[in-house]
Structure 1
Amino acid sequence: MAKVNRLKVSFHDDPRVLAEQSAEDYSRHVVPLAARSSRWSLAMASWSVLSALFYLYISVAVAQAVGTRSAMIGIGLSIVFYGVINYIISQRSIRNGLSVALLSRSIFGGAGAIISSLLFAVTAIYYAVFEGSIIAVAFQQYFAPGSDIRWWYLLVVLYAMPLVMGGVQVWMDKLNGALLPLYVGGLLLIIVIAGTRFGFSFDFLSIQPSLDTTMPGWLWAFIVYMGICVNMMVTAEFSRFGKPEDAKFHGVITFGPVFYFALYAVNGLAGIFIMDTVFPGLKASEQGIAEAVLKSSGLVGLLFILISQTRINTANYYMASLNMAGFAARGLGLRWPRGVWVLFVGACVYLLMLTNVFSYLLKALAWQGVAVTSWVAILLTHYALYPDPKSDEFRPGRVKAIMPGAWAILLSTAVGISLIELGEKGAWYVEIAPIIIAILAASSYWAINKFSEGRPLMRLAEPREEVQDVWRQHIECHVCERSYSAIEMDRDPSASQQAICTGCAEGNQSFLQSVKMESHQLSVQSRVQSSVEDSI
């Protein structure tokens, strides 16, 4: 074994890292304490999700299917369900500072984390297509109904990309903070205008069910909302920027029950009222919601759509570019700036918009919803099995290529897609598919953990044990010559055991091969020693 060299330790954050990562948002690194956001800055960035017209649409669709009463009961249960789970996720993410991709590595392994990054990136791209198309259609209908929609698609993409170039802490939080009052005020104004023009009524609270289900309507509604698990990945991605002292605030307000009350209950009731008032009896669609807003309030409605969709698409483009950058670095060895991936995401969004997007998008999102539901169930099971955040081993040289979570998510996703595609429409097992998927993912992850070897790789030296405070002390990486928090540093067997950061270790074949050899040698030595001790 090579001699272990002395670490280059400092007690202050590297100013070059802070400057470089202000735009990169630590996509391949742990977020250090010095880079954490203030509570309201993070809240404003995260609450961009609040303004998606999708949440107005889904409430209308559910109310029309099972009736308003059952829909509101289901929404109430969803607020509790999401509030509790996202509280748990946010507390853990604030403590470990890990992105979705880094967190996935400890559960799914090095190869599995690559799949997680791609899954989240593609899901965010599809949502960007969905929401961006609404803005383009609204612009076309208001300004030039006979014009070529492709030019409106291009305009929507071109103005969205610059808004996320700087990341969460540069001005994405400020943009969404400034637009939030306009969104809330605009929603209230549209409700007033719609009621004034078409008549105020409480009929929207007594919509009758139109769907014959095999279960109570409120349970059907709850299961529908349960399928929107992508918000839990959003929580993990954003909450890593929270300060430890703000953990409870973020758990309750930014990511917890207060947020979901606004997202599901307030938006839900508003959507049901607007749609039922302007187009009573018309079947719900997200385009229909946009048309109802335009018909009820004209220019005010157009500005509301622009503001609401701009806010949500900052989140979509941000998450897509962040995870695409992570996927490219881990899977393809491409360490390009996140700004390049913003442009790439924009190009993908535009090309998808040129297709008949609404003909296949819902099916694509349904498939991805299966995978995301599995991901969340496995994540929560992991937290239950390993309550100490120190067990979240994410360093490339410390985890195997395939960890137990990879097998669990492949199994549950395959079963889930089979249920959706091959199951009889309306059958009970199809209607409760999200519950089946979640139970299967959690139980298979638990079982595989019980009966397989999922522990970190054996290594010669551990930098974390060579410092007193893994968060406040920083170690210089011999590759990039930047100093990062000791929590993410490792030793490089291919370079005389010098220190290496997580970002430089990813996709570094020389490093990974040396780690594999070192781990194998240590494992052999350990087995030999155990055999000798047993024979004595």
Structure 2
Amino acid sequence: MTEMLEEAPPKPKRRYAALAANENREDYSLRFAAHSFRKWSPFVVATTALGGIAYLADFAIGASIVLSYGFTSGVLAILAAAVIIFVTGVPIASACAKYGVDMDLLTRGAGFGYFGSTLTSLVYASFTVIFFSLEGSIMGQAFQLALGIPLPVGYLLATLIVLPFALYGMGAVAKMQTWTQPLWIAGLVLPFVVVAIREPGKFAEFASFGGTQGAGSGFSAIGFGFGMGIALSLIGQIGEQADYLRFMPEKTAENKRSWWAAVLAAGPGWVILGALKQIGGALLAFLALGVVGETHALEPIAPYLEAVKPALGPVALTFAALFVVVSQIKINTTNAYSGSLSFANFFSRVLHRHPGRVWYVLVNCGIALALMEFGAFAFLNKILGFYSNVAIAWIGAVCADLVIAKPLGLSPKYIEFKRAYLHKINPVGFGSMLVASAVSITAYFGAFGQPLAAFSPLLALVIAIVLVPALAVLTKGRYYLARPNTVSGPGVDTDQRATHDCSACGDAYELPDIADCSKQGGAICSLCCTLDSTCHDQCQQSEPTLLPLPTVRK
């Protein structure tokens, strides 16, 4: 008797939820941004990225620093922080634009490892939540002043109004940022033009302002340090800029100049306008101090209104409220969008599930709304001062890898972000961040005296930058890659734009998003690789072999 051997049925393909499978909304979250998706010009990408810096928290932060520490110490602190943010932002922005990755994927390959970067995902997500709550609080204050809406209701409206833009991704965000830019620019410069024409002598008075807490008009190293720490909390903004810069078109000989101009302007360049806004916000708060009082002087809507009243008269309140609302929509759309990417990155690795980026928009906005309702705005200085210690340790470690370790050959010359090729933890970046954060936070709470408490974020930066190359040398760089990438790594002479079918989900992805999977017996996309909870990284347990990939589809 003979038996008929039936052919084994094909493995069922992974099916993503409808929201996760729609790249028009998903925007390649958790993935390499495909070349075919990068359809915008450098100018459009830069305009969209710069639209996200419309936040008025800069006004509040600058006002808080200068009112606390005086003009001299406060302004120097803002400028010093801006220099640090710009210098550390250049390599990060250019790497994200070059490799088509967001800040989380960059962190994975820049010394943190596949699972090590989950911590930085939460650090970054907390940045977006904190600033969403601060910006939403400012919008709620505008609603209360202009329309008499109670703050709790205003906070809810401030949250709901940005959802349509954040949910629909880069396409909707790019249009919104472009359309609102002229109105925002006009509203931004108007109060300073009015002051310059009507009361030019106020600028000299502001330059001798000694603060409201007895700091004095002279320079104070302690005040300078604490002020710089508050301003350095904005160092995480480079992550939000990178979330848009990953959609930059490929750099070519023809677009080289416009490419670099866009990357520098929309990457670290945001801090130039940001520092000017902080100083401008401090000026408006100083001018309004005698009219609205110190508490309301820290709320951008009140000083702004006082500045434009002489020029706009009865429509000043309406214009001020409109400017605030437009500003908050621009920035909180970016906060919600970037926060969704970070939360998605975190939960996909921890839970091996991905329901879609848009669900994490709701998570981000929900947590931020709770912070607003609990009055986070009242603790602005303390929240930002503490946060900057962790944020700068993270950014410093990533920057050190890009600027020091990679050029010296201590780490791979490219950014590898796929689970198949990464160790779970890389002690170089991850360890440097933990040590730098722990030491600087301890200093921040006064364990090493007031001087180091004031300069604790700077301490975190120095420790992180020194430790990264030191640990890379000690570990001989062996924790960067678990195995060589023979599919799309350096030296692989293959068309990087070619697409391959993922053997897990069946969808086609460009080569940089593909890994060779021993469990599937073929190609697998980076997200399917992330979501597999049963393989236990078996591809890393044996000598690397290049498995046959499906037929290339041009």
Q: TM bucket by the smaller chain?
A: 0.7 to 0.9
Q: Which moved more, 1:469-478 or 1:456-465?
A: 456-465
Q: What residue in structure 2 maps to residue 237 of structure 1?
A: 243
State the number of aligned residues: 499
Partner of 2:523, secondary structure, is strand
Q: What residue in structure 2 maps to residue 184 of structure 1?
A: 185
Q: What residue in structure 2 maps to residue 226 of structure 1?
A: 232
Change (3 A) 1:434 1:299: same
Q: Does 1:417 align with 2:441?
A: yes
Change (3 A) 1:223 1:413: closer
Out of 136, 141, 159, the residue aligned to residue 132 of structure 1 is: 136
Q: What residue in structure 1 maps to residue 405 of structure 2?
A: 385
Change (3 A) 1:226 1:152: closer
Q: Which moved more, 1:182-191 or 1:60-69?
A: 60-69
**2:336–2:364: 8 Å Cα contact kept in structure 1?**
yes
Q: For 2:532 and 2:21, locate their aligned partners in 1 and report how far apart those are by CA, in whole Å.
A: 24
Q: 1:313-338 deviations in whole A, cap 9, x for unaligned?
A: 11111111111112121211221121
Q: For 2:500 and 2:297, locate their aligned partners in 1 and report how far apart those are by CA, in whole Å.
A: 50
Q: For 1:304 and 1:126, locate their aligned partners in 2 and report how far apart those are by CA, in whole Å.
A: 21
Q: For 1:178 and 1:385, locate their aligned partners in 2 and report how far apart those are by CA, in whole Å.
A: 42
Q: What residue in structure 1 maps to residue 503 of structure 2?
A: 478
Q: CA deviation at 1:396?
A: 0.1
Q: Does 1:446 align with 2:446?
A: no
Q: 1:444-487 deviations in whole A, cap 9, x for unaligned?
A: 22222111232411369545589633522222211121222212
Q: Does 1:277 align with 2:283?
A: no
Change (3 A) 1:64 1:17: closer
What amino acid maps onto 1:398 in structure 2? Answer: Y
Q: What residue in structure 1 maps to residue 5 of structure 2?
A: none
Out of 225, 240, 265, the residue aligned to residue 253 of structure 1 is: 265
Q: What residue in structure 1 maps to residue 483 of structure 2?
A: 458
Q: TM-score, normalised by structure 1?
A: 0.84
Q: CA deviation at 1:350?
A: 2.1
**2:78–2:231: 8 Å Cα contact kept in structure 1?**
yes
Partner of 1:391, secondary structure, is coil
Q: Give ranges in structure 2 of 5+ residues lacking alignment.
A: 1-17, 310-315, 546-554
**1:17–1:483: 8 Å Cα contact kept in structure 2?**
no
**1:464–1:470: 8 Å Cα contact kept in structure 2?**
no
Q: For 1:92 and 1:275, locate their aligned partners in 2 and report how far apart those are by CA, in whole Å.
A: 38
Q: What residue in structure 1 maps to residue 274 of structure 2?
A: 263
Q: For 1:381 and 1:29, locate their aligned partners in 2 and report how far apart those are by CA, in whole Å.
A: 24
Q: For 1:173 and 1:458, locate their aligned partners in 2 and report how far apart those are by CA, in whole Å.
A: 39
Q: CA deviation at 1:148?
A: 3.8
Which structure shows the bigger proportion of residues in helix conformation? 1
Q: For 1:71 and 1:195, locate their aligned partners in 2 and report how far apart those are by CA, in whole Å.
A: 22
Q: Which moved more, 1:200-209 or 1:22-31?
A: 200-209
Partner of 2:509, secondary structure, is strand
What amino acid maps onto 2:466 in structure 1? Answer: S
**1:39–1:242: 8 Å Cα contact kept in structure 2?**
yes
Q: For 1:122 and 1:72, locate their aligned partners in 2 and report how far apart those are by CA, in whole Å.
A: 27
Change (3 A) 1:466 1:500: farther
What amino acid maps onto 2:247 in structure 1? Answer: F
**1:28–1:503: 8 Å Cα contact kept in structure 2?**
yes
Q: For 1:63 and 1:126, locate their aligned partners in 2 and report how far apart those are by CA, in whole Å.
A: 21
Q: CA RMSD in A?
A: 3.1
**1:18–1:35: 8 Å Cα contact kept in structure 2?**
no
Change (3 A) 1:285 1:365: farther
Q: CA deviation at 1:56?
A: 1.6
**1:78–1:222: 8 Å Cα contact kept in structure 2?**
yes
**2:19–2:25: 8 Å Cα contact kept in structure 1?**
no
Q: For 2:142 and 2:388, locate their aligned partners in 1 and report how far apart those are by CA, in whole Å.
A: 27
Q: How does 1:33-432 map to 2 (within 5 A)?
A: 33-36=35-38, 37-106=40-109, 107-144=111-148, 148-168=150-170, 170-192=171-193, 201-202=202-203, 203-208=205-210, 210-211=214-215, 215=221, 221-222=227-228, 224-243=230-249, 244=251, 245=255, 246-257=258-269, 259-265=270-276, 267-280=277-290, 282-283=293-294, 287-295=298-306, 296=309, 297-358=316-377, 362-383=381-402, 384-387=404-407, 390-404=413-427, 405-423=429-447, 427-432=450-455
**1:370–1:416: 8 Å Cα contact kept in structure 2?**
yes
**2:136–2:155: 8 Å Cα contact kept in structure 1?**
yes
What amino acid maps onto 2:433 in structure 1? Answer: I
Partner of 1:510, secondary structure, is coil
Change (3 A) 1:69 1:503: same
Q: For 1:284 and 1:441, locate their aligned partners in 2 and report how far apart those are by CA, in whole Å.
A: 37
Change (3 A) 1:299 1:330: same
Change (3 A) 1:286 1:479: farther
Q: What residue in structure 1 maps to residue 15 of structure 2?
A: none
**1:478–1:499: 8 Å Cα contact kept in structure 2?**
yes
**1:199–1:277: 8 Å Cα contact kept in structure 2?**
no
What amino acid maps onto 1:63 in structure 2? Answer: V
Q: What residue in structure 2 maps to residue 433 of structure 1?
A: 456
**1:214–1:428: 8 Å Cα contact kept in structure 2?**
no
Q: CA deviation at 1:509?
A: 2.5
Q: CA deviation at 1:77?
A: 4.2
Q: CA deviation at 1:301?
A: 1.1
**1:61–1:285: 8 Å Cα contact kept in structure 2?**
no
**1:94–1:247: 8 Å Cα contact kept in structure 2?**
no
What amino acid maps onto 2:354 in structure 1? Answer: R
Q: Which moved more, 1:463-472 or 1:300-309?
A: 463-472
Change (3 A) 1:382 1:184: same
Q: What residue in structure 1 maps to residue 513 of structure 2?
A: 488
Q: Which moved more, 1:75-84 or 1:347-356?
A: 75-84
Q: TM-score, normalised by structure 2?
A: 0.82
**1:330–1:507: 8 Å Cα contact kept in structure 2?**
yes
Q: Which moved more, 1:18-27 or 1:100-109?
A: 18-27
Q: What residue in structure 2 maps to residue 525 of structure 1?
A: none
Change (3 A) 1:122 1:80: closer
Q: 1:394-425 deviations in whole A, cap 9, x for unaligned?
A: 11011111102222212211222222224377
Change (3 A) 1:276 1:356: closer
Q: CA deviation at 1:222?
A: 4.6
Change (3 A) 1:470 1:218: farther
Q: 1:430-456 deviations in whole A, cap 9, x for unaligned?
A: 111111111111222222211123241
Q: What residue in structure 1 maps to residue 541 of structure 2?
A: 517
Q: CA deviation at 1:131?
A: 0.8
**1:464–1:486: 8 Å Cα contact kept in structure 2?**
no
Q: CA deviation at 1:285?
A: 6.8
Q: CA deviation at 1:253?
A: 2.0
Change (3 A) 1:94 1:174: same
What amino acid maps onto 1:399 in structure 2? Answer: L
Q: For 1:34 and 1:199, locate their aligned partners in 2 and report how far apart those are by CA, in whole Å.
A: 52
Change (3 A) 1:489 1:140: same
Partner of 2:399, secondary structure, is helix
